[in-house]
Amino acid sequence: MSRPGDQWYGDDSGPMVRLYALTRGRARPSGEVLDVIALVVAVTDPEQDLTLSPEQATLLSLCRDTMLSVAELSARANLPLNITRVLLADLHEDGHVQVTEPTAPNRLPNDYILREVLNGLRSL
Amino acid sequence: MDFVRSEPRTTLMALKILIAGGFGAGKTTMVGAVSEIPPLRTEEQLTEVGSAVDDASGVEAKTTTTVAIDFGRITFDNRLALYLFGTPGQDRFWFFWDDIAQGALGAVVVADTRRLEDCFPAVDYFERREIPFVIAVNCFPGSRRYRVEQVATALDLDPGTPVVLCDARQRTSAKEVLIALVERVRRGQQW
């Protein structure tokens, strides 16, 4: 089985494994669709689960010690956004990651958060 | 599960701001100017049905387009993360915008006065969806300077929409644009 890292072909040839093969044919998650800024953190150790695909193991190790957004995980794992979403939704369903969905601004409880953003920006 | 690790220590809250505008207006430059991480790129593959103008057989062509989104992050106090997404400007990516714009705090439309019409689609989009936004006029060296009132009139903006002159390459300038946006968001909210 080919793994990232021992590829003999160049970038120009495109992916050797068709992307939909990574998600068992799914272009969209069957259940939840994670926001691009949903924050993900691993709660299990990828080395302890040999049923994970290499891509899932990569995603899991990327967010092992730090919360990362779906967008960051996609960029750092070098996987398209929707593929990342499908893989993460599976990891979530199987209890490998904890996900914090963002609060929509119109549902923010009060002005405190926005003031904190303003103060943060001013002190940049 | 017996291999569950300890609970993560920090609770982060995430917010997002879209940085829109025409091709080459300075979206990614602005993201890079204020981001604490080098801008990252994520890609999305879109399958769209082509217009089939070059197809004599009448079979509609299906093409795959890759849309690249450059984004950055600013973290405040290790608790609050503000993500900035540079969104592709073309009209045909609307359905993709809907995905990213969902739940956004607001948007910055980066304008190049030499091609002001390039930001019409973005202005329309945010006005229609009632997403608060500001216009950031990127003052390119050598381009003619316009007053903010002139830009507001040319873009037919609603009276409450701020127009800020900026240099997208400068951190302080990009920061002022974001401050103007967050202040605009605060004014629009009823607490």
A45, A75, A118 ranked by CB distance to B179: nearest: A118
Q: Which of A73, A88, A116, A124 to mutate to test the interface with B (most CBs of B within 10 A)?
A: A124
Give per-residue pLDDT as tens, A24-45.
667 666 677 899 999 999 999 8
Which residues in A lie closer than 8 A to residue B5 (C-beta atoms)?
A: 42-45
Residue B127 has pLDDT above 50, yes or no: yes
Give per-residue pLDDT as tens, A50-64.
889 999 999 999 999
Q: Assess contact for B140 and B111: CB atoms under 8 A.
A: no
A35, A67, A72 ranked by CB distance to B8: nearest: A67
Between B63 and B129, name the one with better pLDDT: B129
DSSP letter for B44, please: E
Question: Cα–Cα distances in Å, from B159 out to A67, A117, B122, B149?
Answer: 40, 25, 17, 10
- Would an 8 Å CB–CB cutoff place A80 in contact with chain B? yes
All residue ranges of chain A with pLDDT < 70 are 1-20, 24-25, 27-30, 109
- Reported as a pLDDT band with limits 50, 70 and 90, residue B126 is very high
Which position has the token pair 């002005």?
A111
Between B157 and B55, name the one with better pLDDT: B157
Structure tokens of B77? 């106090």
Determine whether the interchain pair B13/A43 forms a contact, defined as Cβ–Cβ distance below 8 Å.
no
Confidence (pLDDT) at A23: 74
Structure tokens of A100? 């914090």
φ, ψ of residue B17 to 5 degrees: the values are -125, 135
0.90 exceeded by pTM? no
Cβ-Cβ contacts under 8 Å for B168 (sequence gap 6 or more): B26, B27, B29, B30, B33, B110, B136, B138, B174
Host H or E run for residue B124: helix B120-128
DSSP letter for A105, please: G
Q: Which of B5, B42, B186 to mutate to test the interface with A (most CBs of A within 10 A)?
A: B42
Mean pLDDT over all residues of chain A? Answer: 83
- Is the backbone of residue A79 left (phi > 0), alpha (psi -120 to 50) or beta? beta
* Number of cross-chain residue pairs from A and B with Cβ atoms under 8 Å apart: 127
Q: Assess contact for A77 and A61: CB atoms under 8 A.
A: no
Residue B175 has pLDDT above 50, yes or no: yes
Question: Using CA atoms, how far apart are residues B68 and B45, in angstroms rounded to an integer?
Answer: 9
